[in-house]
Amino acid sequence: MFKLFQPYQNLFAVISTKHNGPMKLTKDLRNLENRKNFAASQAINYQDIVSCCLQHSNRVSIVNNKFITEIENCDGLITNRENLFLSITVADCAPIYFFDPENKVIALIHAGWRGLKNNIIINTIQLMKEVFNSQPKNILVGVGPCLCVNCYEVQRNFIKNFAEYPEVFTNKNQRLFFDIKYIIKEKLMEENVLAKHIEFLPECTACSKNKYFSYRRDQYGCDLDNLQTQMAIFGIKIKN
């Protein structure tokens, strides 16, 4: 998906679309079948995928054991294991893929406004540094499909969450909009990730009605049990 990752032939980064069906991590057997089918279409054994049970938190976990298939109460995963695939689900929040080519370390996080406010990006990079000796200047970051600024309308009281970044807000016709991509880039660069090492896919989940599920566009409100999502997968894929 990302030009930054193309020189690394074993690096595997994908995200599903509506064509692949809903991917939410639930007990719904239809979702499980969709997830397995999507993995198979990418030539991945579903048993080699480790998934986050999302909480819209800032918690990130190190994964070393492929026999653990789900990790509770976290929104990000990090590993240096080959053929172990990290997975999250998204439906407007940003899937962010981190790759340290020097130490062969990957991370995949689910970044919504709550996670960004509570420093999930900082936590991810700090863990990569502390556990795997990653240097931020070497880390490559790809940001997948998420809401664009024209679709991310917020209320006035939302400003307090990012008051130190006034430029992240746009006023249009007495309506207020939030630029999640701007805040992601700012948070990455504050951790010394280089601007040239950050790539955003241009697609918006809400605008791309025929391609992606969208929490806001499809107006799920509090009905999260029936939320339909994409599945992002990231790994270092080595043929045996």
Tell me the whole-structure pTM to 2 decimals: 0.95
> Nearest-CA neighbor of 198 among 149, 140, 119, 238?
140
Please list the pLDDT of the chain residue by residue as tens digits (240 residues): 899 999 999 999 999 999 999 999 887 899 999 999 999 999 999 999 999 988 889 999 999 876 678 888 899 999 999 999 999 999 999 999 999 999 999 999 999 999 999 999 999 999 999 999 999 999 999 999 999 999 999 999 999 999 999 999 999 999 999 999 999 999 999 999 999 999 999 999 999 999 999 999 987 655 666 789 999 999 999 876
User: Is residue 71 within 8 Å of 54, Cβ to Cβ?
Assistant: no
> Nearest-CA neighbor of 113 among 168, 180, 174, 47?
180
3-146+197-236: which CATH number, 3.40.190.10, 3.60.140.10, 3.40.50.2030, 3.40.50.10790?
A: 3.60.140.10
Kindly compute the dihedral angle of the four CA atoms of residues 189, 192, 193, 194, in this order, to the nearest 10 degrees: 80
